[in-house]
Each structure stands twice: as C-alpha cells, then as structure tokens.
Chain A
C-alpha cells in the first residue's frame, strides 16, 4: 500500500505539512538589543589598556603593537618615565596611545605582539560614533580604572560580561603558544578578576566546545531535527576521532581538571 502514501501527489502535500508545523516551534530570533546571545570566549572587541595591581600601567611604549597593526590604526609615542612619579614599571611608558576604530579590523595582532599584556580586547563590539573624532580612542579612554574595569564612554553600550575576560591568556593555538603549555595559565593576573584559567581545547575539541554554549545548543537543535526526520545520526557535538562521550583522556583538558 505504499503507493498510497508515497507518490508525487501525496508528497506534494507532505511538504506543506513540514512548513505548516514551523509556526508551532520555538522561534530562533533573538530580540537583539534587549536580549543577546552569549559571546564567544575569543571575541575581539574594543581594546583596553591594562594596569598592574599597584596602579602602574603595563604599557611601556615599545610601539610593537603599532608596528604589527595591519590596518595602521594604532599610534603610540613613548616617553621616559619621570623618576619621581613613574607611570609604568619600565624605563619608558606610553605617552600617547591612540586607536582609530574606524580603521581597526580587530585582528588581535596587537594583543599577540604586546610583550607586557598591556593591550587586550574586551567583548564590547557595540560602540558607534556620530563623528570621526569620537572614533579615535585616546589613552585616557582606553586605560582601565583602579578596579580593572574599562571606562564606560557615553556612546558605548556595555552589557554585563562584556568587561570580563579581557586579559590575555595563553592560547594554545596562538603563534606564541606552545602545545606543551596547554592548560597552564602563564600570563599575569587580570586586575579585579585574578588569574584566569588558561583556555583548553588544543588536544580536546570538546573541551573547547564547553565554553561555546550557544554554539552547542544550536547544533544540538539541528541534530535533533535531522534525527526527528528519520535521517542519519548526527552527533550534536563535534568529537575528536577515537574519543567516545564519557570516556576521559586524563590530563589533557582544562574542563576536566576543573
């Protein structure tokens, strides 16, 4: 009797059933300004200039960030520290520090280049300007305050969590990262938040996925969809070959260490 349920005429209307069911499902729309999806851990947003816990600025005015910047958006002029009131612990400090966010492509190369972790990127990406002058952030706008929080400028829309995790940490995938240091926090602490655990994920991709909550939920929903339609079994989470869910590989994942 399959010809009654599996012919072109019936299948034509089966298509309408598929679309007709969609209005009953939960909507994928995120009501953006009020409601936001979680940001990826490595999101590159607005820069901040960090300070040590004693209030000293980390920037030593070496201009490596300006040198590496492919968009030529950073302007740095160093100056000798005044002996009676030093700004940074080193010999010199960043006397002028400007970033033109109309040119910045948020590639994060300045963060990679910085020898003192002075410049890092926050998660803020919703900053817009009504004139070109506002797009050039000066040092006073970039330097964090005494508690380690970035300055909130009038035209910026900071949301909870945007200022977290701004400090650098060892990225196993970064050009300067070494695979044998994965899971070991090497860089100095984040003012106000202490030392962050290093990012895992080089040898265990699933551990990296743990951080990307939104990514997993979307993929799980998609996989359930495929299963529900009687299709193949698509794993909701990308897993490395040979690793079964539930079996751990000792000592490789920061998530398991926690």
Chain B
C-alpha cells in the first residue's frame, strides 16, 4: 500500500520536459482524439445494429460494407444542414453550449489507462494521456461540467420547452452525481490512491480475482453502474429525451452542427464512462497474457465492448422510469446506500489500526443503522394526500 501512496504518475516526466516528450504527448493526444471520434461512429452503429437484433430485425445494412458507414453518412448529412438560430436565443451561449457538452467527455477519457507502459526511444510512457495526482476526480469534474452544457443549451434557446427539458435533465444529473461521487470515493478508499493507473495496478495479479467489482460485495460497482447510467441519461433513465413521449428535451431548438455535437457528446460520454467503469471495477487492461505478451489494450477493448452491449441490452429491456421514481431511486436509495457504504469501508480501513479504528468502524455501523432507519421512516411517510389515499387499501 505504501508503494501505491508514493505513486508519482507517468514515468515520462522523470527526465524533465524535452522535445521528444512534447512530441510523444502530442501523438498521444491526437491518438486519443481519433480513437474517441472513431469509437463514437462505431458505437452509434453498434447500438443500432445490436438493438435491431434484440428486436429480431437486421438494422441498417445498406450504407457501406454491411451498413457500417451509416453513422458517417448521418453525420455528414447533419453537418450540411442549416444551423438554425432562434430569434430569442442568447446567441453566444447558444453556440457555446454544445461545445461545453462535448469537451468533458474527451477530458474524462484522458485519464483512462488503456494498457501498460510502452518504451519509445528510451522514453517510457503509459498508454494513458494524462495521469494527474487528482486522477479520478477528473471524471467527476467532467460529468459536472456536462450539466452546464445541458442547462445553458436549454436556457439560451429562448423557448419554454427546452428550458423545461434542461431543468428536468440537470435535476436528474445533479441528483445522481452525489451517489456517483460517493461510490468513486469508496473505490478510492479501497485502493488508497486517486491515480487511475494505481487503481488499475491495485486490481492486477490474478485474472478476475482482485477486481474491484467483487469487493465490498459488489455494492460499489452496482451503485456506480446505476448512477452512471442515470448521469448519462441512458435508458431506462432517458427522461431527458424520452423519444416516445416528448417533443424533445434541452436540445429541441438545435439543428445541424449543434445537434450533432450533443449527439456526439452523448455517445462519447457512453464510451468514456464504460471505459471508466472498466478502469474502476474490471481491472482496466488486466487479463491473462497470451504467449508471454501482455495484451492489455485488447482486454480493455473487450471489457468496454461488453459493457456497451449491456447498456444496449438494458435499453432494449427496461421500461422508462417515471420522474418521481427516478428521484426516489436517486435520493432515497442510491445516495443513502452509497453514503453508508462509504462509512463502512472507511471504518473498516481505519479498523486495522487498533482501538480508535474499531471505534470508527463501530460508529460507522451505528451511522449506517441510523441512516437506514431514517430511510425507512421517510418511506413510510405519505408524500401528499393523494399518495396516502393510494397507500391505504
């Protein structure tokens, strides 16, 4: 553990910043950008084809080989459309909002380790764009900034419905951010480091065995998965768009490039958050080596693909939650559960160090009991007159 605490990030900077280091950084930056853009094109087609098969259809299969160029064609079409600007819109904010929605997804991916280290010309670097000491907090920051993009887009459209949609969306995202942050804190407590590469390194050593998904009874992984799904407004939490029920959400007034950017940001967040889930809970690039060669990026990609398929599967299976159910799940279930989990894990970690540790663990358990009692009391109270009538037979 002490080795992990003394962790100092990417070995690339050990010799100081010279020209080769800058070039390596630039190459990594461009590679991550290109990878994410391609992964979005891939993901849109992957989702359309998988969801079609889950409905015993074929999905798009006309544009390009087996239809794989369909999303490229759709994107080109969107970019050649007219970019409408509502007369009542706040023009500057209206144009900036989609960018604010897209950029965080890029930023969040920069901390994801996709493999081990490679050595180029005597310079050893991680297969990871950045490994800052605040590590996983970048991901929390990114998901918070995305809310600004959504809120500003709805507000600057100068129209009622996007504003209502934006309020709905931002309320949902902020609600689940609390549970998300508490779960990430639990993982950080389990690992003892904020570095994503350290979180991955702590899960290495034995396929499956050390992965965080099995620690603390799988509770952090489950809560994180639900919270991140709601944070991305993926089904069954897609009340932001609710294609079948609403005219549109916060992006109602957007067309052409603005709409394309929101779409891009949505799918990029999906890929990025799947990658972060793989990093936090599935050991990132951890997996058995083939013939002595470490094939971390392959295992990483495989895990992300399986996670993406699970998201699509969920979309094909679960019906959409009602808004009050969504809020109940977030505030009455996930936040107390993740808070209690954090208390217990924190107590258990200090509990190793003697009397004060055991006292901390005992008070954590007490705190958990009080919290669960409070939840029970809160649940038994009727919310308003109408619900009380429904509850009494």
Contact surface of A with B, Cβ cutoff 8 Å: 15-16, 18-20, 22-23, 25-29, 31
Chain B residues whose CB sits within 8 angstroms of the CB of A16 once the complex forms: 313, 317
Query: Does B16 sit within 8 A of A, measured CB to CB?
Result: no
Report 13 cross-chain contacts, Cβ distance below 8 Å, ordered by A residue: A15-B317, A19-B54, A19-B316, A19-B317, A20-B54, A22-B56, A26-B56, A27-B53, A27-B57, A27-B58, A28-B56, A28-B57, A31-B58
Chain B residues whose CB sits within 8 angstroms of the CB of A31 once the complex forms: 58
CA distance A18 to B54 in the complex (A): 10
Chain A residues whose CB sits within 8 angstroms of the CB of B56 once the complex forms: 22-23, 25-29
* A18 to chain B: closest residue by CB: B317
A23 pairs with B53, CB closer than 8 A: yes
**B 18-66 contacts with A by CB, 8 A:** 50, 52-58
A19 pairs with B53, CB closer than 8 A: no
CA distance A25 to B52 in the complex (A): 12
CA distance A26 to B56 in the complex (A): 7
Query: Does B118 sit within 8 A of A, measured CB to CB?
Result: no
B313 pairs with A22, CB closer than 8 A: no
Query: Does B6 sit within 8 A of A, measured CB to CB?
Result: no
CA distance A31 to B67 in the complex (A): 13
B197 to chain A, nearest CB (A): 33
* B61 to chain A: closest residue by CB: A31
CA distance A190 to B313 in the complex (A): 54
B55 pairs with A20, CB closer than 8 A: no
CA distance A25 to B55 in the complex (A): 9
**B 300-343 contacts with A by CB, 8 A:** 313, 316-318
A-B contact count (CB 8 A): 33
Partner of B313, one of A20, A25, A26, A29: A20
Interface residues on B, range: 10 to 19
* B319 to chain A: closest residue by CB: A15
A26 to chain B, nearest CB (A): 7
A40 to chain B, nearest CB (A): 23
CA distance A31 to B318 in the complex (A): 29
A15 pairs with B318, CB closer than 8 A: yes
CA distance A202 to B54 in the complex (A): 40
CA distance A23 to B56 in the complex (A): 6
Q: Nearest 7 A-B pairs (CB), nearest first?
A: A23-B53, A29-B58, A19-B317, A29-B57, A19-B316, A22-B54, A25-B56
B296 to chain A, nearest CB (A): 29
Chain B residues whose CB sits within 8 angstroms of the CB of A20 once the complex forms: 54, 313
CA distance A27 to B61 in the complex (A): 13
A31 to chain B, nearest CB (A): 8
Chain A residues whose CB sits within 8 angstroms of the CB of B52 once the complex forms: 29
Chain B residues whose CB sits within 8 angstroms of the CB of A29 once the complex forms: 52, 56-58
Chain A residues whose CB sits within 8 angstroms of the CB of B57 once the complex forms: 27-29
* B57 to chain A: closest residue by CB: A29
Chain A residues whose CB sits within 8 angstroms of the CB of B54 once the complex forms: 19-20, 22-23
A13 to chain B, nearest CB (A): 10
CA distance A205 to B316 in the complex (A): 37
Contact indicator per residue, chain B 82-113, by CB within 8 Å of chain A (1) or not (0): 00000000000000000000000000000000
Chain B residues whose CB sits within 8 angstroms of the CB of A25 once the complex forms: 56
CA distance A18 to B316 in the complex (A): 10
CA distance A28 to B56 in the complex (A): 6
A54 to chain B, nearest CB (A): 48
CA distance A16 to B53 in the complex (A): 14
B58 pairs with A22, CB closer than 8 A: no
A228 to chain B, nearest CB (A): 14
Chain B residues whose CB sits within 8 angstroms of the CB of A26 once the complex forms: 56
A65 to chain B, nearest CB (A): 40
A22 pairs with B318, CB closer than 8 A: no
Chain B residues whose CB sits within 8 angstroms of the CB of A22 once the complex forms: 53-56, 316
Chain A residues whose CB sits within 8 angstroms of the CB of B313 once the complex forms: 16, 19-20
Chain B residues whose CB sits within 8 angstroms of the CB of A23 once the complex forms: 50, 53-54, 56
| 17 further contact pairs, Cβ within 8 A, besides A23-B54, A29-B56 | A15-B317, A16-B317, A18-B317, A19-B313, A19-B316, A22-B53, A22-B54, A22-B55, A22-B56, A22-B316, A23-B50, A23-B56, A26-B56, A27-B53, A27-B56, A29-B52, A29-B57
CA distance A22 to B56 in the complex (A): 6
B329 to chain A, nearest CB (A): 13
CA distance A22 to B53 in the complex (A): 7
CA distance A25 to B53 in the complex (A): 9
Chain B residues whose CB sits within 8 angstroms of the CB of A15 once the complex forms: 317-318
A11 to chain B, nearest CB (A): 12
Chain A residues whose CB sits within 8 angstroms of the CB of B318 once the complex forms: 15
Chain A residues whose CB sits within 8 angstroms of the CB of B55 once the complex forms: 22
CA distance A203 to B316 in the complex (A): 43
B148 to chain A, nearest CB (A): 34
Chain A residues whose CB sits within 8 angstroms of the CB of B317 once the complex forms: 15-16, 18-19
B77 to chain A, nearest CB (A): 21
CA distance A31 to B59 in the complex (A): 11
Chain A residues whose CB sits within 8 angstroms of the CB of B53 once the complex forms: 22-23, 27
A218 to chain B, nearest CB (A): 12
CA distance A26 to B55 in the complex (A): 10
A180 to chain B, nearest CB (A): 45
CA distance A48 to B317 in the complex (A): 49
CA distance A3 to B117 in the complex (A): 50
CA distance A20 to B318 in the complex (A): 12
* B59 to chain A: closest residue by CB: A29
B153 to chain A, nearest CB (A): 33
* B315 to chain A: closest residue by CB: A19
B312 to chain A, nearest CB (A): 10
CA distance A15 to B58 in the complex (A): 21
Chain A residues whose CB sits within 8 angstroms of the CB of B58 once the complex forms: 27, 29, 31
CA distance A22 to B55 in the complex (A): 6
CA distance A133 to B55 in the complex (A): 42
CA distance A27 to B50 in the complex (A): 13
Chain B residues whose CB sits within 8 angstroms of the CB of A19 once the complex forms: 54, 313, 316-317
